[in-house]
Amino acid sequence: MLRRVHEPAAGDNPASPARSSLLSLAAEIRHSAGWLERRMVRSYLRRQGITVPESAEFFGFPTITAAPGSTLVLGERFNAISGRRRHVMGLNHGCVIRTIRPGAHLVIGDDVGMSGATVCAAGRVEIGPHCLIGANATIVDSNFHPLAAAGRRYAPLPEPEPRDEIVIGANVFVGAGAYVLAGARIGDNSVVGAGAVVTGEVPPDSVVAGNPARVVRAL
């Protein structure tokens, strides 16, 4: 025996009122949880004496710490994505942003976004405005241990030198998994390819890739 399958007429809404209410409630809960999460992050940072712009956005909990006597500045509309479920690529960890010794200087400009990135300053790290720091990228101005083998295991953090400073210009895109190491200077508008290792000068308006990073094309 054949049964006639009811087909909703044009204009019918296949979603039941109950389902619509549940979806609406779920959306409200997600919004409220996100708002509460961001307030908790801001409160945590301000207790450490770190100034956080009201326009900054945090998705997931980053690790942001400032050594006593150091400077850590987050620009307006700073955006940090932390946690595997927060990013389409998945992240190895939440964002890590740290000054690691007194006198260190870390400045992140306006409209900078990063996803699961690590940025550590022992001396000086500056990231210009409108930069994108891709998933799991690393920007550090220290080797954290001496290069000389003798006593390396227990040696203190090496003293920073002016040549170790990192300066990233405006509108730079650092690709996923890239390393920007001590002494790197990246010109405005440039792109660092995924997995590249940058230790020196990158001209403005260029694309670099590889280890060590080399210019592969101009923009």
Domains, the chain: 17-218 (2.160.10.10)
The values of phi and psi at residue 184, to 5°, are: -75, 140
Give the sign of the dihedral formed by CA 157, CA 162, CA 163, CA 165.
Answer: positive
Predicted local confidence at residue 3, as pLDDT: 44
Which parts of the chain sit beneath pLDDT 70? 1-16, 18-36, 38, 84-89
Predicted local confidence at residue 4, as pLDDT: 44
Predicted local confidence at residue 9, as pLDDT: 52
Predicted local confidence at residue 124, as pLDDT: 97
Residue 60: both structure tokens together? 């997931």
Q: What is the pTM of this model?
A: 0.81
Predicted local confidence at residue 61, as pLDDT: 85
**Residue 95 three-state SS:** coil
Predicted local confidence at residue 65, as pLDDT: 93
Q: Give catalytic residue positions.
A: 145
